[in-house]
Amino acid sequence: MKKEQTDFLVIGSGLAGLAFALEASKHGKVVVLTKAGVQDSNTSWAQGGIAAAVGESDDWRLHEEDTLIAGAGLCDPDAVRMLVQNAPQAIEWLAKLGARFDLGASNELDLGREGGHSRNRIVHHADKTGWEVERAVSAAVRANPNIVVYQFCFVTDLLMSGGRCVGATGTIPDVGQVMFTARATMVATGGVGKVYDSTTNPRVATGDGVALAQKVGANIANMEFQQFHPTTLHHPQLSGFLITEAMRGAGATLRNHNGRRFMFDYDSRLELAPRDVVARSIAREMQKLETWCVYLDPTHLPSELLQEEFPTIWKRLSEIGLLIDRDWIPVVPAQHYSCGGVVTDLNGRTNVPGLYASGEVSCTGVHGANRLASNSLLEAIVFSFKAAEVVQAEPTEVPEVQEPKSPTCLPENEAILLRHALQKLMSAQAGIFRTTAGLQEASDKIASALTQYDTQATAGFSAYSAETRNLLINAQLIVNGALARTENVGLHYNADLDK
């Protein structure tokens, strides 16, 4: 088997992985493995922006308070404080790398508003902030001689020696299996959206990092806190297309099938209540009126503002015949962000020596039971920076490791059926509204699907099948986490606990 040694290994090429790679490259050689192209990540799809208390009337204490309120009492206050205090430096770092952010009339940052924020504090690049950030960061990575990127390299296992993580094995088309050994390994594989049949996440969001880390004994927590974005497009061709919360921040309102602004019935913060509240209110309204969507109404906003602030949405919707200065947008909630994941300390370290995690795959304590809008790109930078500081202290000698076994996979035609059945099951039983019986049914079905996978797997590698197994592991963690929660909090709502 081919072998390569490096100082620091990164799995994933979203903002968390690349921020870590850039900082760690100051202390040694870095290899980045990504299962698709570099820019195929959740980061690239982020519309809203990055929260930072940089406005005149703002203060990190207010950002801290808003984050804690959204997290419904389950945030780690130290992690939150570290996050919000480091936000202005994170923005500066991105700007120095060449990321362009929208400016106001006097060249100050133009700050948007999103749900749960008590001030305008969203630094953004129109409605494609993630794309702009990923562009700037990946350009810096390409220009860095200390970083090597392997694209289309699917990681099948983490390598362990004497209880330490010492790298990973990846499979590269036309090359085969490669063992990458390293002093430290950073898992930054992003989200798990493909566990559900409707998600804002890209195709690559299959929870690979959570499954890899769990297999080597890393602690995983809070997977039951799956955030559903309240407003994604309801349309057969563009299902899951995000309509950024910034549009509600700019004044767009939610209406039901009768045209009524129904958020008055649910929360005094109306359309800008935290996401869990708005998504649940929409789902209830749809149940009540027996309708398949609600509507986002931006039609009272100036046409120029809509075109300027939301050019991506304007263009995509006009392609399907919706003119957002005239038409209400049909919207439904869809899975958007995993607030749980691989547990880390404030330096991105997991409980497995040598193994780090950052970004959506991690559970740093910042989000608690519900993430505040636009805290995710920020978390990725702040925790990756901390990890890159401490990673230098990892032992310089990497021990010899045994070659791993060749992977076995379920035939793809079987994996397709398993994956689709899983997505339907999870959407029905582990979505916004849950019941104990539904969760138990899901848990049993997932356990038997995993047994089926493992008993029918044959020699040979298929990335699709390997992802499907990872999805099953993530689904099991979500469902079992939900069954273990004895109170309704944040994003977790079990109707039986209300009785």
Between 16 and 463, CB nearer to ligand SIN: 16
Between 177 and 231, CB nearer to ligand SIN: 231
65 C-beta neighbours (distance < 10 Å), count: 14
**Smallest separation (angstroms) from ligand SIN to the CB of 100:** 18
Between 24 and 122, CB nearer to ligand SIN: 122
**Smallest separation (angstroms) from ligand SIN to the CB of 9:** 28
3-state class of 379 per DSSP?
helix
Between 114 and 394, CB nearer to ligand SIN: 114
In sequence order, the 6+-apart residues with CB closer than 8 A to the CB of 414 are 452, 456
The active-site residue, picked from 113, 135, 183, 275, is 275
Query: Interface with ligand SIN by CB under 6 A: which residues?
Result: 46-48, 244-246, 337, 373-374, 376
Q: Please, are residues 182 and 9 in contact by the beta-carbon 8 Å criterion?
A: yes
**Smallest separation (angstroms) from ligand SIN to the CB of 287:** 23
Between 358 and 374, CB nearer to ligand SIN: 374
Exposure string for 358-395, b = 16+ CB within 10 A, e = fewer: bbbbbbbbbbbbbbbbbbbbbbbbbbbbbbbeebeebe
Residue nearest ligand SIN, Cβ-based:
48
Nearest Cα neighbor of 84 from 107, 112, 63 is 63
**Smallest separation (angstroms) from ligand SIN to the CB of 233:** 13
In sequence order, the 6+-apart residues with CB closer than 8 A to the CB of 239 are 198, 232, 233, 334
| Catalytic (active site) residue 275 | yes
Q: Which amino acid is at 138?
A: S
**Smallest separation (angstroms) from ligand SIN to the CB of 61:** 21
Rounded distance between C-alpha atoms, residue 332 and residue 10, angstroms: 35
Long-range contacts at 258-266 (CB < 8 A, ≥ 24 apart): 258/289, 262/294
Token digits of residue 176: 């085969």
> How wide is the angle at C-alpha 370 spanned by C-alphas 369 and 376, nearest 5°?
125
**Smallest separation (angstroms) from ligand SIN to the CB of 309:** 12
Between 83 and 166, CB nearer to ligand SIN: 83
Catalytic residues: 275
